[in-house]
């Protein structure tokens, strides 16, 4: 299947969408916007994965399998155990392929803002203390930039199997939302 751009018409009305991209690229925000535009249910995978004290929830794989079986949804393309299950049923992948500097800048701003405001994320969790970026190799501000190339390769490998819409930069995101996605959003999802 061809790799679509922000102006290319969609070949079908999307019913099960995955939004791919690096940490900080805007996956969750775009999922919300797509869900609103197409009247699709949205499930945030982080809320299913993370239990209290940043502990993975044992029910995660079963909940992802149940989500994948549904006819309509939009969610993030993340988590090793979830990706193949969701991809098997997805009809469209929207890839936020923003430049590295954009992604890292967004990730830093988001992390600092969440930490400073004491935002509760999932199941009582908050961002780790900012100083722990120096002591915790798994801190989001270290892990996010390290995963950038791996995420890009993972999505490029999907192009032959599913419709992939590649969006580079917020301008392309906005053009796609108000162009091709809005056009199919006028048709009822079946």
Q: What is the CATH number of the domain that holds 173?
A: 3.40.50.300
pLDDT over 90 at 130, yes or no: no
Look at the block and give the residue holding tokens 């599913």.
162
- Predicted TM-score of the model (pTM): 0.91
* Interatomic CA distance for residues 158 and 155, integer angstroms: 5
Cβ(43)–Cβ(35) under 8 Å?
no
**CA distance from start to end of the chain:** 22
Can you read off the two tokens belonging to residue 113?
A: 């803002």
Residue 44 counted as domain residue: yes
Q: What is the pLDDT of residue 185?
A: 67
Residue 163 counted as domain residue: yes
Backbone angles phi, psi at 138, to 5 degrees: -95, 5
Q: How many Cα neighbours within 13 Å face the side chain of 59?
A: 8
- pLDDT, one tens digit per residue, over 98-128 is 999 999 999 889 888 988 998 888 888 888 8
Residue 128 counted as domain residue: yes
Residue 187 counted as domain residue: no
Residue 96 counted as domain residue: yes
Mean pLDDT of the chain: 91
Containing structural domain, residue 143: 3-182
Q: What percent of the chain has pLDDT over 90?
A: 63
Q: How many domains does the chain have?
A: 1
Q: Closest Cα to residue 155, out of 102, 98, 72, 74?
A: 98
Residue 189 counted as domain residue: no
- pLDDT, one tens digit per residue, over 43-67 is 999 999 999 998 999 999 999 999 9
Residue 154 counted as domain residue: yes
pLDDT over 80 at 186, yes or no: no
Residue 54 counted as domain residue: yes
């Amino acid at each position: 299947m061809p790799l679509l751009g922000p102006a290319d018409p969609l070949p079908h009305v999307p019913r099960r969408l995955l939004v791919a991209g690096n940490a900080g690229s805007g996956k969750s925000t775009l999922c919300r916007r797509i869900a609103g535009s197409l009247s699709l249910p949205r499930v945030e995978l982080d809320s299913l994965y993370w239990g209290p004290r940043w502990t993975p929830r044992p029910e995660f794989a079963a909940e992802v399998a149940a989500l994948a079986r549904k006819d309509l949804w939009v969610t993030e393309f993340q988590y090793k155990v979830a990706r193949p299950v969701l991809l098997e049923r997805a009809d469209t992948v929207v890839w936020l392929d923003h430049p590295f500097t954009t992604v890292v800048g967004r990730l830093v701003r988001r992390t600092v803002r969440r930490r400073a405001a004491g935002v509760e994320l999932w199941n009582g969790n908050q961002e780790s203390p900012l100083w722990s970026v120096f002591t915790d190799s798994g801190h989001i501000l270290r892990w996010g930039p390290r995963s950038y190339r791996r995420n890009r390769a993972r999505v490029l490998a999907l192009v032959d199997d599913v419709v992939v819409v590649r969006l580079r930069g917020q301008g392309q995101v906005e053009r796609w939302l108000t162009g091709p996605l809005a056009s199919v959003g006028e048709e009822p999802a079946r």
